[in-house]
């Protein structure tokens, strides 16, 4: 009986280690539900996170990874892209263990708050404008420009990972935020907002170092006639390399400590029984 119990303890410890394969990870299919939300809904949350973050410490303009974790505490970890107007960027930062990761190959948003649109524009006019501007951007993206790889392994069929949000609000414009630095008045309600982009939602990256590379490009375009946004939107591109580290999950050492403690207890009882 004692020998069988010891064998079971050893086997359980081996299972605990085997359940963490070194290179296994999952890329979720488009439109998946992750942590209770669709990927499109997570992209809306990503925009709120990025644009309401301080302009002086913003993940999008960050060139080192120093601000990658700023307010990034939800069930999904947001990977920042860029503003699209800079050259390639390389960042280094930590990603918490056990959280799915949302990666933007290239993305775009339009917001039409009343404070920046013509006073004659109705809410329906502004909603229509957001729809038309995002549709214009989608026609300007070249799917062949998309690229994404994890540890040198390229993801395939990237055009399928298009996510388009419904109209949403990013809340009131925060003082000192990146969106405020674009000229949107502080306090302006960022509605209606719409966004689209090509995104990867991945989970299961093993503890240790990883390299993420991703990007894409879109051409300049002029939105279809609408009430509010009529000027040409310039071409832009994204080219990001992220060197990330994922720590060992706390549960693995705790499980091992428990197994060692249990085995020591069993051996101690056996020694006392044999004396």
Kindly report the pTM of this predicted structure. 0.84
Give which of 166, 164, 162 is closest to 127, Cα–Cα: 166
**Is a pLDDT exceeding 80 seen at residue 19?**
no
Instruction: State the DSSP code for 9.
Output: H
Q: What is the pLDDT of residue 95?
A: 98
What does the block give as tokens for 12?
A: 């359980």
Residues found in the chain: 275
Q: What integer is the mean pLDDT of 205-215?
A: 97
Q: Confidence class of residue 84 from pLDDT cuts 50, 70 and 90?
A: confident
Q: What is the DSSP letter of 151?
A: T
* Mean pLDDT for the chain overall: 87
Is 22 a residue whose pLDDT tops 50?
Answer: no
Tell me which of 1-10, 57-66, 125-134, 138-147 is least confident.
1-10
Percentage with pLDDT > 90 across the chain: 80
Rounded to whole angstroms, what are the CA distances from 153 to 16, 100, 145, 250?
A: 27, 18, 17, 28
Between strands 37-38 and 33-34, the pairing is antiparallel
The reported pLDDT for the residue numbered 167 is 98
**In the predicted model, is pLDDT for residue 267 greater than 50?**
no
């Amino acid at each position: 009986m004692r020998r069988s119990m010891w064998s079971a303890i050893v086997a359980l410890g081996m299972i605990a280690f085997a359940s963490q394969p070194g290179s296994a990870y999952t890329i979720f299919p488009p439109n998946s539900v992750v942590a209770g939300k669709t990927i499109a809904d997570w992209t809306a949350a990503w925009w709120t996170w990025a644009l309401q973050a301080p302009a002086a410490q913003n993940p999008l303009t960050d060139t080192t990874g120093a601000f990658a974790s700023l307010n990034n505490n939800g069930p999904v970890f947001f990977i920042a892209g860029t503003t699209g107007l800079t050259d390639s960027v390389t960042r280094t930062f930590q990603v918490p263990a056990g959280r799915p990761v949302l990666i933007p190959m290239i993305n775009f948003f339009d917001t039409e708050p009343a404070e920046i649109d013509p006073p004659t524009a109705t809410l329906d006019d502004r909603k229509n404008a957001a729809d038309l501007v995002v549709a214009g951007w989608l026609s300007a993206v070249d799917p062949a420009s998309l690229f994404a790889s994890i540890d040198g392994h390229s993801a395939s069929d990237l055009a399928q990972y298009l996510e388009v949000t419904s109209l949403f609000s990013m809340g009131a414009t925060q003082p000192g935020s990146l969106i405020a630095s674009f000229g949107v008045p502080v306090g302006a309600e960022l509605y209606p907002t719409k966004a689209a982009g090509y995104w990867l939602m991945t989970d299961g990256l093993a503890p240790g170092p990883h390299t993420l590379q991703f990007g894409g490009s879109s051409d300049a375009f002029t939105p279809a006639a609408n009430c509010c946004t009529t000027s040409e939107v310039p071409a832009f591109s994204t080219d990001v390399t992220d060197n990330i580290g994922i720590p060992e999950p706390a549960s693995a050492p705790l499980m091992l400590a428990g197994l060692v403690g249990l085995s020591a207890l069993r051996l101690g009882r056996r020694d006392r029984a044999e004396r």
